[in-house]
Chain A
Amino acid sequence: MQVPEVAESFAGSVNRVTLGATKDNGGTRTSTVTVGGARNVVYGGSIEDAGEKPVIAMDVLDSRPEDWHDSLAQNYKDVLDSPGDWAKKCVAEFGAELICVKFEGIHPDKANYDAAHAVKVTEEVAKAVGVPLILWGCGNDEKDNQVMPKVSEAVKGENALIGTVKEDNYKALTAIALADGHNLITHAPLDINIAKQVNILASDMGFPLERIVTFQATGALGYGIEYAYSIQERQRLAALGGDKMMAMPAICDVGYESWRAKEAKLADAPGWGAVEDRGPMWEATTAICLLQAGVDIIRMRHPRAVATVKNFINQIWQ
């Protein structure tokens, strides 16, 4: 039986955003990454409509993670105290196209490190690797407002991706990201109405829509992935429908969310298979599922999961 042609064309498209600046553009990165550009749903339309390949950003923490499961931590055991070496390992050994520095250690409930620490880590990582950087606050508004502007300044001109800004806390970071020439992550709690509102608020401050990447929050397999999936799908359809306030590429946080799942780390679970396999499988499955809803940048942690997802991307987007 012949498969009917059901390709639909759309008026709008996802914005293309380029991250990183090489020497020619005033930065020190040795490579840049461009995401977005899709003019159809994933698998929809022609190959040209697919836009840029999605990319994987590997997480590097600013301080030694205390709660990482062994099957994850052992991959980084020699570099967990050195963010620069950690980033280098992700790029050189595991093929990370972007490094996401997550400033866990500045959180007041964790190590409560100060801005000087965050700047030092940022500089170390920027020096150690040539790929573009994502700089991600700890989630405590007050502390992020103190620290992230300093982090932004430390890599001024590098065209990094910095975040996150939320509906009730966006002014400080939006202003500094604009001044330092970075791209911005707008963050909403799995709520499409708030997602649009944050974009409007950032845009009202003069931040160009073409330099925004959205983060809708992520749910892992078994832990709300259907909410994340449908919201990413709705965002893509809005972009294709011509909604300029929703036409941004999307980032999701698969690594952190997947490793919160008990299935990824519970050792005493007969019948679930080897624990060292389950974590990377959980991460890879979550990532591949969200890729099909239409996300552009995936934050990940386990090298085996990264390899699996890269393989998937290379097969689909070619």
Chain B
Amino acid sequence: MILIGERINGMFTDVKEAIAAKNKQTIQELAKKQTEAGATYLDVNVGTAAADQEGTMQWLVETIQETCSTPLCLDSQKSSVIAAGLKVINAEAGVILNSTPLNKKTDEEILDKYIEMANQAGPKASIITLTMDKNGVPQDIDTRVAIAAEIVQKAMEKGFDTQRLFIDPIVLPVKVPNAQVQAGNILAAMDQIRYLADPTPHMTVGLSNVSQGATERSLINRVFLAMAMSHGLDSAIVDVLDEKLVNVVATAEMLMNKQIYSDSFLKAYVAANKA
């Protein structure tokens, strides 16, 4: 499972304050802690508070890479912010560009641009692509799959390895009125997306979205994660500092026979990821 640690995000108060005060220590500690907890990538999102988003992204990337070599996932709705991060990053071990829809009303070619940016960033650079297009976020299963198919097709046309694609079927909060059906729709869509290409593209979700505004958030996150893994999810943006959530990942992988069982399988999972 590719775990993308979500904590370095300007939406969290501690990160917001650290950005405002240019406090490197808070950011570097979060990078270290998430790495030790088993994060494969660290998500980096400047949030909305900073006036200079490009400059803040660069400061965050440089601050993290001063003390930590875990690859990063540059997270912004604006391609200029991701591009700014790519200018200063060391992407030797990989980087994820997070994220782009298939297309936008204002920019039909946005996925092409992201593929180009990823190619320039190096052979290990990947992209998170949302199953979303100029008409917005699809609510049903078929449109999600159709958009994913177009994404995969575009990547193949461009010679972009499908293993460098992460398809995000967009998780919606379960508490939103009439949205409760979406969790099931996403699972059904994933069942089809995983057969779109061989090798199959990765699938990822912003897990915490599912429980936005709800009670029992951690429980909802963990259960949905296990369910999604059984439908082919192999990556997620999560709170890796939630030890019980990482235990769910280890257990699900073991039950799916992706990890050989041992009596210390929880410990083995974290130790192996750290190494």
Are B267 and A200 in contact (CB-based, < 8 A)? yes
Residue among A192, A200, A243, A246 making CB contact with B264, cutoff 8 Å: A200
Pair A246/B260 contact, Cβ less than 8 Å: yes
Indicate the member of B258, B259, B260 with the most A CB atoms within 10 Å. B260
Q: Once the chains are docked, how many angstroms separate the CA of A267 from the CA of B136?
A: 82
In chain A, what residue has the closest Cβ to B258? A241
Tell me the smallest distance from the CB of B170 to a CB of chain A, in Å: 28
A209 to B275, CA, bound (A): 10
Q: Which residues of B lie under 8 Å from residue A154 when comparing CB positions?
A: none
B259 adjacent to A200 (CB under 8 Å): no
CB-based A-B contact count at 8 angstroms: 39
Within 8 A of B (CB), among A183-212: 192-194, 196-197, 200-201, 203-204, 209
Contact A193 B272 (CB under 8 A): no
Residues of A within 8 Å of B264, CB to CB, are: 197, 200-201, 204
- Please pick, from B260, B271, B275, the residue contacting A193 in the complex, using a CB distance under 8 A: B260
CB of B106 closer than 8 Å to a CB of A? no
Against A, the Cβ 8 Å flags (1 = close, 0 = not) of B247-275 are 00000000000111111100110011001
Query: Do A245 and B272 have beta carbons less than 8 Å apart?
Result: yes
The reply to whether the CB of A72 lies closer than 8 angstroms to some CB of chain B is no
Q: Select B262's contact among A193, A241, A244, beta carbons within 8 Å.
A: A193
Among B258, B261, B271, point to the contact of A203 (Cβ < 8 A). Answer: B271
Q: Does A281 contact B (CB under 8 A)?
A: no
- Majority-rule SS of B interface residues: loop
Min Cβ gap A101→B in Å is 30
Distance, CA A234 to CA B252, complexed state (A): 20
* B261 x A245 contact (CB < 8 A): no
Contact size class for A?
10 to 19
Any B CB within 8 A of the CB of A217: no
* Docked-complex contact A238 and B260, CB < 8 angstroms: yes
| Residues of chain B within 8 A of A194, CB atoms compared | 262
Q: Could you tell me how many residues of chain B have their Cβ less than 8 Å away from some Cβ of chain A?
A: 12
CB-nearest residue of chain A relative to B273? A244
| CA gap between A209 and B271 in the complex, in Å | 11
Contacts of A196 in B (CB 8 A): 260-262, 268
Residues of chain B within 8 A (CB-CB) of A203 are: 271
Q: Which residues of B contact A245 (CB under 8 A)?
A: 260, 262, 268, 271-272
In the complex, the chain B residue whose C-beta lies closest to that of A210 is B275
Q: How far is the CA of A242 from the CA of B234 in the complex (A)?
A: 15
Q: In the complex, what residue of chain A is closest to B267 when comparing beta carbons?
A: A200
Query: What residues of chain B lie closer than 8 Å to A204, measured between beta carbons?
Result: 264, 267
* Residues of A with C-beta under 8 A to B268: 196, 200, 245
* Most chain A CB atoms below 10 A, which of B262, B271, B272: B262
Residues in A neighbouring B271, C-beta threshold 8 A: 200, 203, 244-245
Residues 241-255 of A, flagged 1 when their CB comes within 8 A of B and 0 if not, give 111111000000000
- Quote the shortest CB–CB distance from B260 to chain A (angstroms): 5
Q: Is the CB of A193 within 8 A of B261?
A: yes
Asked whether B263 lies within 8 Å of A197 as measured between CB atoms, the reply is yes
The docked-state distance in angstroms from the alpha carbon of A203 to that of B267 is 11
Chain B residues whose CB sits within 8 angstroms of the CB of A234 once the complex forms? 260
Which A19-52 residues have a C-beta within 8 angstroms of B? none
CA distance A227 to B262 in the complex (A): 19
B164 → chain A closest CB, angstroms: 14
> Using Cβ atoms and an 8 Å threshold, which residues of chain A touch B263?
193, 197
CB-defined contacts of A244 to chain B, threshold 8 Å = 271-272, 275
- A209 and B272 CA atoms in complex are apart in Å by 10
- List residues of chain A with CB within 8 A of the CB of B261: 193, 196
Q: Which residues of chain A come closer than 8 Å to B258, judged between CB atoms?
A: 241
CB nearest neighbor in A for B274: A244
Cα–Cα, bound, A244→B271 (Å): 9
Interface centre among B267, B272, B275 (most CB of A within 10 A): B272
Closest residue of chain B to A200, judged by CB?
Answer: B264
Bound form: Cα–Cα A134–B4 in Å: 43
A-B contact pairs, 12 of them (CB 8 A): A193-B260, A193-B261, A194-B262, A197-B262, A197-B263, A203-B271, A241-B258, A242-B272, A243-B259, A244-B275, A245-B262, A245-B268
Query: With contacts A196-B262, A200-B262, A238-B260 known, what are 9 further pairs, Cβ within 8 A?
Result: A192-B260, A194-B262, A196-B261, A196-B268, A204-B264, A241-B258, A242-B272, A243-B272, A244-B272
